[in-house]
Amino acid sequence: MAAGLFGSYRVLLAPMAGVSDAAFRTLCIEQGADLTYTEMVSAKGLSYANEKTRHLLELAEGERRVGVQLFGHEPATMASQAAWVEDVLGDKLACIDVNMGCPARKIVTKGDGSALMKDPVLAETIVSAIRESVSCKVTAKFRRGWGEGDETAPEFAKRLEQAGVDAVTVHGRFATQMYKGRSDRGAIARVKGAVTVPVVGNGDVRTAQDALDLVADTGCDAVMVARGAQGNPWIFSQVKSAFDGCEPPEAPSARDRIEMARRHARLLNARDPRSVVRMRKHAMWYVAGLPDASRARGLINDCSTLDEFERLFDRIVQHVEALAERDEL
Ligand SMILES: Cc1cc2nc3c(=O)[nH]c(=O)nc-3n(C[C@H](O)[C@H](O)[C@H](O)COP(=O)(O)O)c2cc1C
């Protein structure tokens, strides 16, 4: 069983750009996520008081704690914006996490995200600058290394630990791999062996068993789930009960999936009706595996408002219930 990040967080929702907004975080917390992160937030954008960037920091009603992930490469900007975030969120801020793992071209060409793995001295400077500017925990999330075959993560983690980081999250792929191949658990284990701060294991946790295996194989203190939570907030309750050695909760039915999608759409709409279009990709994930999912996917793409989603969800529920009555499910 995972020891826990900062004592108590065992299963975390990963930062995911375009996905981990306040609505999705709410559903994951309800299902048992111990800690959730914002999408990555541009430190530069915050420094320009960009409204869209600031919007990413808004919490859901009743959201008590969040990790805020910043990306950037200028130590002074990162530090001043981390301090600003701490001022705004106060004790709701669990940690400032530094993105050192994003491999997207538009990020790394600016020297941000996983490009920092190529410049460990700069990465250290960023961590110490933030460390000096905030009183909350400071964490960093990175990959196995930059170029395939060149595993720098253990040494990188050590340097960041010396620079004052309170915990690290490791995704066991190289940056140049993007999402190809498997996340390497050995790399996470080697980071765990290299540092004394807590290590969060990340990569390819799709089931409760994956989480148990990740902890058993690496000794990591907590697990972080990204794609496995898409359309599947239940993964958090499943992992939690596995960690507690309890019977797994019942798998969600087709109806549960659609009702979760409906709540998701309502939460998005309540915050900002314009953000309901975000529901298209979530709805695709919720219906994956349901009967006639491909037809549903076509209809999802035509939805732009909450009303349209609600009507579609009604139709899907009626359809799966009719199939169930005819014993075709
Ligand atoms: C749609 C999407 C958006 C992501 N955005 C971020 C991000 O903003 N910050 C970050 O550190 N990682 C981001 N990631 C990477 C994930 O946090 C995670 O490290 C990676 O997906 C591996 O975990 P998984 O196998 O559980 O998906 C993103 C991944 C996906 C699929």
Say if 75 falls within a structural domain.
yes
| pLDDT above 70: residue 160 | yes
Q: Into how many domains does the chain fold?
A: 2
User: What is the pLDDT at residue 2?
Assistant: 78
Q: Give the mean pLDDT of 121-128.
A: 98
Strands of the chain, DSSP E:
11-13, 35-36, 41-42, 66-71, 93-100, 137-145, 167-174, 199-202, 222-225
How many residues are there in the chain? Answer: 329
Q: How confident is the model at residue 328 (pLDDT cuts 50, 70, 90)?
A: low
Of 210, 243, 276, which one is at a domain's C-terminal end? Answer: 243
- Identify the domain containing residue 73 by its residue range: 11-243
Please report, rounded to a whole number, the percentage of residues in the chain having pLDDT higher than 90: 94
Q: Are residues 221 and 273 in the same domain?
A: no
Q: Hunting for tokens 């919007």 — which residue is that?
A: 55
Q: Give the mean pLDDT of 46-50.
A: 95
Euclidean distance between CA atoms 216 and 201, whole angstroms: 11
302 class by beta-carbon count within 10 Å (0-12 exposed, 13-18 middle, 19+ buried): exposed
User: What is the pLDDT at residue 167?
Assistant: 98
What pTM does this model have?
Answer: 0.97
Q: Are residues 60 and 149 in the same domain?
A: yes
With the most atoms of ligand 1 within 8 angstroms of its CB, the residue from 12, 171, 177, 199 to mutate is 171
Q: What is the pLDDT of residues 309-323, one digit of tens each?
A: 999 999 999 999 998
Q: Are residues 80 and 210 in the same domain?
A: yes
| Residue with CA closest to ligand 1 atom 1 | 16
28 in catalytic set: no
Q: Give the mean pLDDT of 276-302.
A: 95
Q: Give the mean pLDDT of 102-121.
A: 98
User: What is the pLDDT at residue 329?
Assistant: 62
Euclidean distance between CA atoms 79 and 56, whole angstroms: 18
| Residue with CA closest to ligand 1 atom 4 | 16
Q: Is 247 helix (H, G, I), strand (E, B) or coil?
A: coil
Strands of 230-276, DSSP E:
none
| pLDDT above 80: residue 327 | no
Q: Is residue 204 a contact partner of residue 180, using CB atoms and an 8 Å limit?
A: no
